[in-house]
Structure 1
Amino acid sequence: MSWKLTLPCTRAEAEAIDFEGTELLSLDPSPVLLTSETIPDDPAAWQLEAYFETKPGKAETAAIRTLVPSAGKARPKVEQLPDEDWVTLSQSGIEPVHAGRFYVHTSGNRGHVPAGVKTLQIEAGRAFGTGTHETTSGCLLTLDAMRARGEVVRNLIDVGTGTGLLAFAAMHLWPTAYATASDIDPVAVEVTAENAAINGVEIGGGPGQLALAAAPGLEHELLIGRAPYDLIIANVLAGPLIDLAPSLSAALAEGGTLIVAGLLNAQAERVANAYRRHGLRLAGRTPMGDWPTLRLRKRARYGWGRTTRPGPDGSGLAPGFGSW
């Protein structure tokens, strides 16, 4: 038998959880944690589920409670589960997603695969980005539309990659491009490497391979050294997107595309304005309920002041680099 403890939380808390953090070190064995929405498109209505081999006591409950401060004095729901493979059962409730030419599923729910799609297997659990949320689906549709228009991408990065899903999708669309994925959470980078192996994506630094780094924003020598990028994907949150505007804009090549998501309709104009100040214009918008995906393009500059910076292929144009 196993036990499940459930507490309410916010999306921000769910994304900030360190699934291998010090709060859980005192628990042996450590519980398995899963987070999910309880009300679609409501960032205040999420929940944290902790699975234990034995009934959780006061110490276990207190440790889990520290992960979600908004739960306050909310009474945890503790229930005994039948002797089943509950991890597979929990993932079987995640429906596959068909977005453009992509079909995303878990190992527990492959469903009926449509003809002519690229399948990607992404497990729910330690990192975000299974394709089920509008932000991820909107990015997949935006990438698909770019490829359908014949846009060429030679050097791309997925910032805040989560599970690696968007990086894998972009690599499928532009298989000879240099590709990079990064996340502030080292666990997400580990998960991306695991998912890369599942989906046949090669890790490495060459064309058609995926380079990985754990870093806040672009604060890593690998990420700086591989710039400028002609495609940047950042599916995070509105606040971090605004904070990252100077560095992401500087890392984007002239004429390059920036795809941003993780923002609500009411936040879209403020995010777009943050990038307009750095020479980007809003080129498109993919509406997905309350969660739009924005596509921005960097305006070209000309003249003697145009600077150059080496890229992965030995050359590249990169005006306006800052101190990032």
Structure 2
Amino acid sequence: MSWKITALAPRLLVEAALIAHEDALDWDHDILISGSEVAEDQPDDWRLEAWLSRKPTKADKAALAALFATEVPPFVVEKLPETDWLVTSQQGLEPISAGKFHVHTPDHPASEDAGVVDFVIPASQAFGTGQHATTAGCLTMLTHMKAQGLVVRNAADIGTGTGILAFAARALWPQAYYTASDIDRVCVDVVSGNAAANGVPMGSGAGRITMTVADGMDHPLIAARGPYDLVMANILAGPLVALAPDFGAALVPGGHLLLAGLLETQEPGVRAACRRAGLRLAGRIVRGDWSILWLRKRPIR
């Protein structure tokens, strides 16, 4: 990506723009956007960033401006040096410790703490190094779910990215069956490479991870390997709402659903969709502005 557009605005304005982006059905997917705090000590000051592989056109800027319903902040457009910014953005990041897990890039050493599960995830073209608050929150929640006595025999990680959540679940429940999927084909090689680097076996048997390319739950393999007693999805609020009925249908009675990728302001809508699908809240974590939800399907009485 050789061009970037940046807008500085209050947190609520950027969050509203991110929600509008999710709802924009005609969005140009060559424009990737993200929102983040300007600094930890400035929680109400955010930036919206958009990356493009071409010089932004008037139409590109207009599409970004349309995300801001009330007040459009000034845009700063810059041409970036020819480098892999997806890789560079993740290099040198500090390791994180979340629940039972320690996640780091190859630039940092493994944890020496006893009882900690260590994963090395190199910078790649897929989401999920564990640095992001939602991924770290999921690792914390999985650790909590295990501590609460959850037993997993068959699990699915929808929108797996780098495979980190599937890897973590397998570390907690090593004899279960695992299905991982992503809409992006590049993730097949990413997950395979990360699995090899972390000693995680791929395949269809117990304790192994089967990877496929799928749009949400829509794939024969995902259907054939179900139903599941754990489904994980760290994606975006819009798809979580849309997929809630499919998640409910794919779970065994009493099964568990771990959701992330939603802002706390988006939580009511996601939870309402899950309630309609027969899922009830079992626990939640808030990391920064992000909610991580543990839901459970009604058991047969």
Match of 1:261 in 2: 260
Structure 1 residue 149 displacement after superposition: 2.2
Structure 2 residues without counterparts, runs of 5 or longer? 8-16, 23-28, 67-73
Helix, strand or coil at the partner of 1:128: coil
CA separation of 1:77 and 1:39: change in aligned 2, threshold 3 A? same
Structure 1 residue 220 displacement after superposition: 0.6
How many Å separate the matches in 2 of 1:202 and 1:43?
Answer: 43
Match of 1:194 in 2: 193
Q: Deviations over 1:233-252 (max 9, x none)?
A: 01111111110011110001
How many Å separate the matches in 1 of 2:161 and 2:232?
Answer: 12
Match of 1:93 in 2: 92
CA contact (8 A) 1:13 1:67 kept: no
Match of 1:322 in 2: none
Question: Whose strand proportion is higher, 1 or 2?
Answer: 2
Q: Deviations over 1:161-183 (max 9, x none)?
A: 11110010000100010001111
Q: Deviations over 1:280-324 (max 9, x none)?
A: 11111112121111111111125xxxxxxxxxxxxxxxxxxxxxx
Alignment map for 1:101-250 (pairs within 5 Å): 101-110=100-109, 113-250=112-249
CA contact (8 A) 1:6 1:49 kept: yes
Match of 1:77 in 2: 78
Higher alpha-carbon deviation: 122-131 or 37-46: 37-46
Matching residue within 47, 50, 55 for 1:45 = 47
- Specify the structure having the higher radius of gyration (Cα): 1
Match of 2:55 in 1: 61
CA contact (8 A) 2:86 2:125 kept: no
Structure 1 residues without counterparts, runs of 5 or longer? 16-21, 24-32, 51-58, 303-324
How many Å separate the matches in 1 of 2:293 and 2:45?
Answer: 19
Helix, strand or coil at the partner of 1:45: strand
How many Å separate the matches in 1 of 2:179 and 2:248?
Answer: 17
- Matched letter for residue 64 of structure 2: S
CA separation of 1:39 and 1:127: change in aligned 2, threshold 3 A? farther
Structure 1 residue 49 displacement after superposition: 6.5
Structure 1 residue 273 displacement after superposition: 1.6
CA contact (8 A) 2:241 2:270 kept: yes
Percent identity of paired positions between Structure 1 and Structure 2: 45
How many Å separate the matches in 2 of 1:67 and 1:184?
Answer: 27
CA separation of 1:217 and 1:171: change in aligned 2, threshold 3 A? same
Residue 251 (str. 1) matches residue 246 (str. 2): no
How many Å separate the matches in 2 of 1:263 and 1:197?
Answer: 30
Q: How many residue pairs get matched?
A: 276
CA contact (8 A) 2:134 2:290 kept: yes
Helix, strand or coil at the partner of 2:181: strand
How many Å separate the matches in 2 of 1:271 and 1:133?
Answer: 20
- Matched letter for residue 78 of structure 2: K
How many Å separate the matches in 1 of 2:188 and 2:19?
Answer: 19
CA contact (8 A) 1:124 1:130 kept: yes
Match of 1:273 in 2: 272
Match of 2:25 in 1: none
Match of 1:55 in 2: none
CA contact (8 A) 1:36 1:48 kept: no
- Matched letter for residue 61 of structure 1: K
How many Å separate the matches in 2 of 1:110 and 1:68?
Answer: 45
How many Å separate the matches in 1 of 2:192 and 2:181?
Answer: 11
Helix, strand or coil at the partner of 1:92: coil
CA contact (8 A) 2:192 2:202 kept: yes
Residue 8 (str. 1) matches residue 10 (str. 2): no
CA separation of 1:197 and 1:112: change in aligned 2, threshold 3 A? closer
How many Å separate the matches in 1 of 2:112 and 2:92?
Answer: 17
Residue 298 (str. 1) matches residue 300 (str. 2): no
Structure 1 residue 137 displacement after superposition: 1.0
